[in-house]
Structure 1
Amino acid sequence: MLRQLLINAIILATLTTYLVPVGNASAQSAPSDPDWNVTEVTVEKSLPGPALWKITKEDKVLWVLGVMPMQRTHWDMSRVKRLLDGAETLYLPPLSEGTISLSSTRLPEGQMLRDVISEKTYIRYRATARTFNIETKEDEQYQPFWAGQKMFQRIRLYNGISLNAVTEQVVDAAKARKVKVRRIALYDSSDTLAESTTFTTEQGEACLNYTLDSIDHLVPNRKRDAAAWARGDVDTLRARLAAAPKVTCGNNQSVRGNKARSDTLRAIEQALSGPRRNVMISSLSVLLMDDQLMHELSALGYKVIAPRSKPAP
């Protein structure tokens, strides 16, 4: 469970930061291509399944599927499976993993959470616990950041919100088709996790409030978000992501983001240099909200074709 908490901590802290950026490209006229003709037609109701982005250079093609933390849901995998048929590689987003001593995340002996955060934040923390029927007596022995992570873990599991269910399904489909699976990058986040144990009182409380904000944003809308993702309703998803709480926790977001951006750009270049098409899984927040890499892709001669929105009927 500690390892899962560590992964959750990293993912939660990067929900609105860089994972696999491709840009906020407007829809363009699709080139004549059998893959595109099947997936992008004028009758939107004939396009089941989540939105896909297409990156091209000359005759090379990379398809990108955006993912997000959401409630587990049934979705139409037919287009993704078809794109995996004959594909060379499935690229997975950068991942951060690390280790930390559990004892270092606890408060000093004799202190409890309510002793180190404001009354307002503690009342909010307890109200959230009551809403989801969570017992927090043991969790309140931990530093604010980690108390928040433990709460997030329980609420996520209780509400069926998955951080990687879609990725696991696509990986299984790729392996069944003998498609190579490659992680773009794996980062050691031990230093970031260790940093969390040195937060000041103010920093720790800010992290806890960010976690509570994320719970408030994610959980009440979990069914609607999953449905919008499954039908490719990018307008609804863009609005939801724009309303997501801004990261107020951690000091090295831009450094980690720049590293991931550089590694992803190299992966895109590699994917578009091979003889066959490739598929990539990306953070949906970056696909819909981040323009920074778009300029770099354009400078290298790549074209990004964004999907049309498919709102609910």
Structure 2
Amino acid sequence: MMATPVLAQESAAPEVPAAPATAQLDTVVVTGEQPGPGLWKVSKGEHVLWVLGTQSPLPQKMQWRAREVEERVAQSQAVLLSPGLYIKSGVGFWGRLALIPSLIGIRNNPDGKKLAQIVPAEQYARWQPLKQRYLGRGNKVEKWRPLFAAMELYGEAIKRNGMTGGNDLIGERVEAFSKKAGIKPTLVKVTVDVKEPRAAIKEFKHSALDDLDCFSKTLDRLETDLGNMKLRVNAWATGDLAALRALPFTNQYAACMQAMQGATVLKDFGDINAQTKQAWIEAASKALDTNASTFALLPMSDIIGEGRYLSALAERGYHVEAPDDVDEVPAIAAQP
């Protein structure tokens, strides 16, 4: 069952002590041309899969020196893009246009409630100084569900700290290299088929989301992890994998994705994260068996974080080598 949100009085925002101001961080995000990390090599016999670990966010003013990636893509017969979720609505262009009016207000809390009436008082006290610092005094976001408010806050916070979303940037460059090489990239995806999109939108607007954990972890990350976040983006940009492995990683995305998957329109489709991982492993195995060379993208957290997709390929008999020759697979395979 979904957790019941703790409601504050509707007449006024809760009177709680202000949260302490977040300490100013002096870590400088790198700029200029940077090499990025090396490539993981997965092989069996003469067949090779080259894997680039992607990172988000990335330094805002970095130019990625991607010569090795371009060369590996040019030598490959297939390119696998990062795995993701695809929502199929079964409507064409005009049908999508007709749906636009029903999307208005989709981010808002049901029944017109404000954020102060949805989140616990302690979380709202932490939210206020962060919101003022990064979003200003506007009240539009105060109508939004905690999930969407957290996403808006996070996006503006990384921008103000010299960072930008990285996965799209990397994906676009790899797609450009693929086009130049005459390869149509493969999007590894799990498809959710929404038969009646208008009804699904209406249902989503009126359904509760168990998104307080997402909201809280986003606040945690902005209060305590911005310094490490800058160190991580610098480590990716300069190719320092030892630093990436050593730095603690607080990931609010898992909690936010879990909240979205708990929505009525998605919860009947099972564990989408597990399905996505399995889809990528199957696509990678097929590509390895079929092609002499394949290039693939994976989030860095799925390579050296908890996801560790490549250990599943090792268990199937493929040989996995890290760019810095660190043999990670035995330690991964030993985990329960």
By the TM > 0.5 criterion, same fold?
Answer: yes
User: Which residue in 2 is equivalent to 1:166?
Assistant: 170
Match in the other structure for 1:210: 217
Query: Aligned partner of 2:242: which letter?
Result: D
CA distance in structure 2 between the aligned counterparts of 1:260 and 1:108, rounded to whole angstroms: 30
1:77 aligned residue: 66
Return the structure number with greater relative CO, CA threshold 8 A, min gap 6: 1
Measure how far apart 1:131 and its partner are: 2.5
Where does residue 271 of structure 1 map in the other structure? Answer: 287
Residue of structure 2 aligned with 1:262, choices 278, 284, 295: 278
Cα distance in structure 1, aligned partners of 2:114 and 2:279: 41
1:137-191 residue CA offsets vs partner (Å, 9 max, x unmatched): 1110112222222223333444441142112112212212223311011533979
Question: What is aligned with 1:53?
Answer: 40
Query: What is the distance in 1 between the residues matched to 2:183 and 2:40?
Result: 19
Q: Which residue of 1 aligns with 2:146?
A: 144
Q: Deviations over 1:206-227 (max 9, x none)?
A: 2211222343466444543222
User: SS state of the match for residue 94, structure 1?
Assistant: strand
Is the Cα–Cα contact under 8 Å of residues 152 and 215 in structure 1 kept in the other structure? yes
What is aligned with 2:304?
A: 288
Query: Structure 2: which 5+ runs fail to align?
Result: 1-33, 90-101, 263-269, 327-336
Figure out how many residues of one structure are paired with residues of the other and give that number: 262
Q: State the TM-score, normalized to the length of structure 2.
A: 0.67
3-state DSSP class of the match of 2:43? strand
Q: What residue in structure 2 maps to residue 31 of structure 1? A: none
How far, CA to CA, are the matches of 2:208 and 2:325 in structure 1? 42
Q: Are the aligned partners of 2:110 and 2:206 in contact in 1 as well (CA < 8 Å)?
A: no
**Which residue does the alignment assign to 1:122?**
124
- Measure the CA separation in 1 of the matches of 2:276 and 2:310: 15
Residues 285 and 86 of structure 1, relative CA distance in 2, 3 Å threshold? same
SS in 2 for 1:235: helix
Partner of 1:301: 317
Contact 2:57-2:158 within 8 A present in 1 as well: no
Whether the 8 Å contact between 2:36 and 2:238 is mirrored in structure 1 is yes
1:199 to 208, 221, 224: 208
Instruction: Choose from 175, 181, 186 the match for 1:182.
Output: 186
Deviation readout 1:39-67 (Å, 9 max, x if unpaired): xxxxxxxx954121000011100000000
Identity value in percent: 21
Gaps spanning 5+ residues in structure 1: where? Answer: 1-46
- When residues 166 and 197 of structure 1 are mapped into structure 2, their CA distance, relative to the original with a 3 A threshold, is farther
TM-score (norm 1): 0.71
Supply the AA of the counterpart residue of 1:188: V
Question: Are the aligned partners of 2:302 and 2:309 in contact in 1 as well (CA < 8 Å)?
Answer: no
- Tell me if structure 2 keeps the 8 A contact 1:51–1:231: no
1:67 corresponds in structure 2 to 54
Offset from partner CA, 1:14-59 (integer Å, 9 cap, x none): xxxxxxxxxxxxxxxxxxxxxxxxxxxxxxxxx9541210000111
Aligned to 2:79: 90
Cα distance 1:247–1:295, how it changes in 2: closer, same or farther (>3 A)?
Answer: closer
1:58-87 per-residue CA deviation (whole Å, 9 max, x = no partner) reads 110000000021233222211111112221
| Root mean square deviation, CA, Å | 3.3
Q: 1:118 to 1:49 in 2, by over 3 A?
A: closer
Structure 1 letter corresponding to 2:151: Q
Distance change >3 Å, CA 218–CA 167, structure 1 → 2: farther
